[in-house]
């Protein structure tokens, strides 16, 4: 039975109650959840609160609203809690995860790239430029991220690409952490070496280039831990 949310609660509390039903398997994937008036009664909140809670869970991919049919459970997995835990990880942990993803992306890109892909990487790296403290750091991060995500796209692995995009904000934080700090920011030569590793068509060479690229930052963090 649903536990009534306190009457003073907001939509996020109602969303937590709905999510708990989904996680417990009482509302399985593909099933239709109770209609708005029923949910309001079960949770002890207003219909407006229920509406906001449903919108929250739709945005997280747990629910799907089908016009004229109702609201259905789309997924039993809520990524928000996982992302929150990831943000609590140490900076060293964050860089190690990023390295693992980019190493595999480079390995696949080495095998699957085309000449056009290599030209694209060189173009993106030219646009990336170098970080200037007097410039817009956020804009530089976007340019840097575009280069790294292009490698992931070239890997041809949709699951890997979606995983990287899923944690895009998380990756941005790791990039931002290396700007204007004592952490060694990889220069243009280090980035070019990654492209050359991919161009070699040797997965091991490409992987080694990424490890070399990331090692100075990870080693610096290890010394500071």
* CATH class in words for 11-77: mainly alpha
CATH code for residues 81-224: 1.20.120.530
What does the pLDDT look like over 176-222, one tens digit per residue?
766 666 678 788 999 999 999 999 999 999 999 999 999 998 888 88
What does the pLDDT look like over 74-126, one tens digit per residue?
888 776 666 667 777 788 888 898 899 999 999 999 999 999 999 999 999 99
DSSP code string of 2-60? PPPPPTT--HHHHHHHHHHHHHTTSS-TTPBPPPHHHHHHHHTS-HHHHHHHHHHHHHT
pLDDT score, position 7: 41
Tell me the pairing of strands 70-73 and 63-66.
antiparallel
Task: Find residue 66's DSSP bridge partners.
Answer: 70
pTM above 0.85, yes or no: no
- The dihedrals phi and psi of 45, each to the nearest 5 degrees, come to -130, 175
Calculate Rg over the CA atoms of the chain.
22
Element spanning 20, H or E? helix 11-23
CA 35 to chain centre: 32
What does the pLDDT look like over 11-68, one tens digit per residue?
888 998 998 898 888 999 999 999 999 999 999 999 999 999 999 898 888 899 998 8
Cα 223 from Cα 225, distance rounded (Å): 6
Q: One fold for both 11-77 and 81-224? A: no
Domain boundaries, the chain: 11-77, 81-224
């Amino acid at each position: 039975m649903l536990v009534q949310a306190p009457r003073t609660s907001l939509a996020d509390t109602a969303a937590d109650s709905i999510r708990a039903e989904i996680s417990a398997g009482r509302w399985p994937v593909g099933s239709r959840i109770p209609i708005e008036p029923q949910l309001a009664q079960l949770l002890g909140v207003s219909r407006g609160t229920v509406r906001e809670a449903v919108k929250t869970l739709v945005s997280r991919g747990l629910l799907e609203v089908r016009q004229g049919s109702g609201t259905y459970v789309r997924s039993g997995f809520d990524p928000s809690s996982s992302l929150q835990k990831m943000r609590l990880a140490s900076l060293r942990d964050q860089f190690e995860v990023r390295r693992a993803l980019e190493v595999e992306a480079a390995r696949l890109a080495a095998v699957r790239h085309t000449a056009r892909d290599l030209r694209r990487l060189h173009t993106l790296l030219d646009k990336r430029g170098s970080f200037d403290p007097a410039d817009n750091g956020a804009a530089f991060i976007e340019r840097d991220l575009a280069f790294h995500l292009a490698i992931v796209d070239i890997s041809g692995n949709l699951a890997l690409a979606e995983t990287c995009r899923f944690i895009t904000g998380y990756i941005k934080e790791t990039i931002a952490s290396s700007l204007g700090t004592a952490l060694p920011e990889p220069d243009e030569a280090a980035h070019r070496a990654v492209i050359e590793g991919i161009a070699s068509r040797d997965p091991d060479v490409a992987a080694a280039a990424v490890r070399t690229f990331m090692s100075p930052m990870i080693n610096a963090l290890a010394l500071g831990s």
